[in-house]
Structure 1
Amino acid sequence: MSLDKILSISGKPGLYQLITQTRTGFLAQSLLDGKKLNVNGHNSVSLLSEIAIYTLTEEVPLGDVFQKIYDKEEGKEAISHKSSKDQLEEYFFEVLPDYDEDRVYASDIKKVVQWYNLLVKNDLTDFSLSEEVAAEEEE
Structure 2
Amino acid sequence: MGLDKILAISGKPGLYQLKAQTRSGFVAESLIDGKKISVGLRNNVSLLSEIAIYTLTEEVPLREVFNKISEKEEGGKTSVSHKEGKDKLEEYFFSVLPDYDEDRVYPSDIKKVVQWYNLLHENGITDFAEEKEEEVKEEDAAAE
TM over 0.5: yes
Give the superposition deviation at 1:130.
Answer: 2.6
In the alignment, the residues of structure 2 paired with residue 29 and residue 22 of structure 1 have an alpha-carbon distance, to the nearest angstrom, of 14
Return the TM-score normalized by structure 1. 0.93
In the alignment, the residues of structure 2 paired with residue 3 and residue 130 of structure 1 have an alpha-carbon distance, to the nearest angstrom, of 9
Report if aligned partners of 1:4, 1:129 keep a CA contact under 8 Å in 2.
Answer: no
2:141 maps to 1:129: no
- What is aligned with 2:70? 70
- What is aligned with 1:12? 12
Indicate the percent of aligned positions where both proteins have the same amino acid: 71
Paired positions, count: 137
Return the TM-score normalized by structure 2. 0.90
Query: Where in structure 2 are there 5+ consecutive unaligned residues?
Result: none
Give the superposition deviation at 1:128.
Answer: 2.3
User: Which entry has the higher C-alpha Rg, 1 or 2?
Assistant: 2
In the alignment, the residues of structure 2 paired with residue 90 and residue 109 of structure 1 have an alpha-carbon distance, to the nearest angstrom, of 10
- What is aligned with 2:110? 109
Root-mean-square deviation over aligned CA pairs = 1.8
SS for the counterpart of 1:21 is strand
In the alignment, the residues of structure 2 paired with residue 67 and residue 60 of structure 1 have an alpha-carbon distance, to the nearest angstrom, of 11
Deviations 1:80-131, CA, capped at 9 Å, x for gaps: 0001100000000000000000100101000000000000000111212331
Query: Where in structure 1 are there 5+ consecutive unaligned residues?
Result: none
Q: Which has the higher contact order (CA 8 A, sep 6+)?
A: 1
